[in-house]
Amino acid sequence: MRSDPALNDDAIPVAPVRSVRRGPSVFTILAGVLALWVVLVGGVLVAGMAFGTDSAIEVLDRREVRIELLDFDIKPDLIEVGPHTELTFLVQNLDNGQHDLQISPDVGTGRLKPGESKVLSAGVVERSYFIWCSIKGHREQGMEARVELIETDT
């Protein structure tokens, strides 16, 4: 008798187990790319609907408005624009404290230090809305302005 069971005539030969590492399948990669594309395109479409920046809207005018943040005030406090106007804010904090400018809960300049400036694109104006400083208590103290859509005779 042989002492090694592997050499025994009754033993079933077993191939050694090899670890095979496979990368992601082509299907997994394509599904990931498709999911990313859906998220990006969906985000752009939602942002466009929310802020009037839908690419199908005809832009009839482009306007830059200088916004000054000073003494718990936003100047000018009324910005009148015609339909289909692409609006850009040139925001400058002229105060000694920090301020920001929001055009929606999710879109704004972020906090601006004294003397700091930032350009903020508001997209194509399709409706009237408020802009404000979101720092706690500032809006309540008057840091709010209005973008007013006015009808024009063509």
Read off the pLDDT of residues 10-68 as tens digits, 9 standing for 90 and up: 656 655 656 556 667 777 777 777 777 677 665 544 444 445 444 566 778 899 999 99
Q: Give residue for tokens 């009148």.
A: 80
HEC secondary structure over 47-61: HHHHHCCCCCCCCCE
Task: Output the pTM of the full model.
Answer: 0.61
The string of pLDDT tens digits covering residues 77-110 is 999 999 899 999 999 999 999 999 999 999 999 9
